[in-house]
């Protein structure tokens, strides 16, 4: 696609639109003999018309690359019939990304299908093979075969996307082919939406409806800056798109390898609350807390320990577990990464030789923190029978045998069967050691516990009350 107009022109047009929208004075040429002549010569009106032309030209250039996608029966299907999957909710959109027929869409649009029906802008119907899927980012790549080049869109650089910039979403909502909606980027770097493993969404108010999934989000230059993936049903005007840089990286791996290979660090993580940050000598949200290090994995071999706070990976700041996961996943297995950690108040850089991420890795769960509580637990030494009962592969530790209702411990998410391994960074293998460690806590101080639950570790900060 060609660039519709220059940035400076768009800026001027935007100023003209702002004046029109918000009541700011828009200069006009002195009126002629009639009101009609005055409107025709108004610079403000001319700017709006030019802006309108930019948008309509962009829409016309963008639409041919957008396709409708319908999963078809996996077995017992006639190609001529093109029978769609019964009760399928997977129909959606996609965008052609090269002239030879590669199409990117959402994984949830494709579902379990190995072949889908694709309808082009000229109403041509083709069958596309699913050449790769990545549930972790909700992306899939298809391939159609034709005897002529297809109209393709190009990827832009999503790292330059800014809140407030204008975007166009193109798709097929409710079966309405190649619907175009205009809006702005209303947020970037959105995560914790619980839609996929690696979340870094672009949020937009450009209308995205059922059927838009998998369609492109364009900037005003006609470049793809995102792949539309989700809406919030109860929040009108909020939609999310996968950034184009992530989509392009995943697409290239699916085309070249048939799967996505990601690097693996080998740690369990949790975010830093204010209380945890204070205990570990860092600022809140400055890094993420390592609560578990898996044996013989890269982090363990490099010397990373539970209680370390990871603050950077190859110089990139880390402020959430999701951010760390994305940074590591973007690296190649076998490559070296420089991981900055804070340990006992000291910063150090560790060289980590990354391995390939294993499937079905479970990250540690963690309770949320509160600032006003009391302890409220009974503890006992761990026995072989208790270890088996609570699925603990441990021989030593202090088992929580009771959690008082309404207590501090209950509020922090502790429960019967949790195994306390550390108190204020000191190993605690027996009730006696636990009692001594707790007795050292001064009035007003907090207690940092490292806890195991069903083989997974997490940290909890408790503030014991005076009664």
Identified catalytic residue from 68, 213, 325, 407: 213
User: Burial letters for 73-95: b for 16+ Cβ neighbours within 10 Å, e otherwise?
Assistant: beeeeeeeeeebbeeeebbbbbb
Please, what sign has the CA dihedral across residues 398, 403, 406, 410?
positive
Residues 6+ apart with CB under 8 A from 445: none
Q: What is the DSSP letter of 302?
A: H
CA distances from 177 to 35, 66, 93, 267, 336 (A): 40, 9, 9, 46, 47
Through-space distance between the first and last CA atoms of the chain, rounded to whole angstroms: 71
Q: Is residue 8 flagged as an active site residue?
A: no
Q: Which of 134, 138, 205, 418 is catalytic?
A: 138
- Bridge partners of 20, per DSSP, are none
In angstroms, how far apart are the furthest CA atoms of the chain?
A: 99
Could you confirm whether 98 is annotated as catalytic? no
Whether 186 is a known active-site residue: answer no
Residues whose CB is less than 8 angstroms from the CB of residue 442 and which lie 6 or more positions away in sequence, other chains included: none
Helical H segments across 157-240, by residue range: none
Coil/strand/helix, residue 346: strand
Burial code (b: 16+ CB inside 10 Å, e: under 16) for 355-377 equals: bebeeeeeebebbebeeebbbbb
* DSSP assigned state of 72: B
User: Are 179 and 167 within 8 A, CB to CB?
Assistant: no
Q: Annotated catalytic residue: which of 102, 108, 158, 407?
A: 108
Query: Which residues have a catalytic role annotated?
Result: 108, 138, 213
């Amino acid at each position: 696609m060609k660039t519709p107009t220059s940035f400076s022109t768009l800026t001027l047009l935007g100023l003209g639109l702002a004046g029109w929208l918000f009541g700011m004075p828009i200069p006009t040429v002195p009126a002629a003999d009639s009101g009609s002549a005055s409107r025709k010569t108004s610079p403000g009106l001319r700017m709006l018309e030019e802006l309108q032309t930019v948008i309509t030209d962009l829409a016309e250039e963008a639409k041919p690359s957008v396709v409708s996608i319908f999963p078809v029966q996996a077995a017992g299907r006639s190609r001529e019939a093109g029978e769609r999957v019964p009760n399928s909710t997977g129909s959606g959109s996609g965008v052609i990304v090269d002239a030879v027929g590669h199409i990117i869409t959402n994984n949830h649009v494709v579902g379990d299908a190995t072949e889908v029906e694709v309808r082009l802008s000229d109403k041509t119907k083709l069958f596309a093979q699913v050449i790769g899927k990545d549930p972790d980012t909700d992306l899939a790549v298809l391939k159609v075969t034709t005897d002529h080049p297809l109209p393709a869109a190009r990827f832009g650089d999503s790292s330059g996307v800014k809140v407030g910039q204008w975007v166009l979403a193109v798709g097929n909502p409710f079966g309405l082919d190649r619907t175009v909606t205009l809006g702005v980027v209303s947020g970037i770097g959105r995560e914790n939406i619980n839609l996929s493993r690696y979340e870094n969404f672009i949020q937009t108010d450009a209308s995205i409806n059922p059927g838009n999934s998998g369609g492109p989000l364009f900037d005003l230059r006609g470049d793809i800056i995102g792949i539309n993936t989700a809406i919030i049903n109860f929040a009108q005007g909020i939609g999310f798109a996968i950034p184009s840089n992530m989509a392009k990286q995943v697409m290239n791996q699916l085309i070249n390898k048939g799967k996505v290979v990601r690097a693996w660090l080998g740690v369990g993580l949790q975010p830093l609350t204010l209380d945890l940050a204070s205990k570990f000598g860092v600022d809140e949200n400055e890094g993420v807390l390592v609560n578990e290090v898996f044996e013989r994995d890269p982090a363990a071999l490099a010397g990373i320990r539970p209680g370390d706070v990871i603050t950077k990976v190859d110089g990139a700041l880390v402020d959430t577990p999701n951010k760390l996961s994305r940074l590591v996943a973007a690296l190649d297995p076998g490559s070296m990464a420089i991981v900055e950690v804070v340990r006992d108040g000291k910063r150090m850089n560790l060289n980590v030789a990354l391995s390939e991420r294993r499937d079905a890795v479970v990250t540690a769960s963690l309770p949320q923190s509160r600032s006003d509580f009391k302890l409220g637990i009974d503890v006992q030494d761990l026995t072989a029978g208790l270890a088996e009962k609570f699925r603990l592969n441990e021989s030593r530790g202090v088992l929580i045998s009771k959690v008082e209702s309404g207590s501090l411990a209950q509020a922090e998410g502790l429960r019967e069967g949790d195994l306390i391994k550390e108190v204020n960074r000191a190993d605690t293998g027996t009730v006696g050691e636990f009692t001594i460690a707790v007795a050292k806590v001064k009035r007003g101080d907090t207690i940092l516990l490292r806890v195991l639950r069903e083989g997974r570790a997490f940290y909890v900060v408790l503030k014991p009350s005076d009664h």
